[in-house]
Amino acid sequence: MNADTPHASSREAFTHRRTRIIGTPDPPGLRIEGDLDRTVLATLTQALAAHPGPGEVSLDLTRLDFIDVGCLRTLVTATLVDGRVLTLHSMPPNARRLLELTGWHDTPHLRLNT
């Protein structure tokens, strides 16, 4: 398989170039590693869709290196699913700043957890 092609494995792992998105069972959600930019937007959307609402989806962002505004918007709009709460854990300072600059930090059903 080409390294540029998004794919999922049995562990709900989505990989694309310098990005890995891995499903986590407890708490239910995703661990995101690397860069989130326009080249992985479809991969991110697919990974979030694998966790349909309602309920809480936790995102471990400990190893997130970069996020662009398009991918950040995708995370924020994931909270629009009825009954879904999205909790962002260990969001890097640059990503948190982007969230504040856009005003999306006040989005209902979006929680920031350091």
- With cut-offs at 50, 70 and 90, classify the pLDDT of residue 12: low
Residue 1 lies in a domain: no
What's 25's domain CATH number? 3.30.750.24
Do residues 87 and 113 lie in contact, with contact meaning Cβ atoms separated by under 8 Å?
Answer: yes
- Count of structural domains within the chain: 1
Span 13-70, pLDDT tens digits = 888 788 999 999 888 999 999 999 999 999 899 899 887 768 899 999 999 999 999 9
The one-letter amino acid code at 96 reads R
Residue 19 lies in a domain: yes
> Range of 20's domain?
7-113
**According to the model, what pLDDT value does residue 10 have?**
33
Span 59-84, pLDDT tens digits = 999 999 999 999 999 999 998 887 88
> Residues of 8-42 as b/e, b for ≥16 C-beta within 10 angstroms?
eeeeeebbbeebbbbbbeeeebbbbbbbbbebbbe
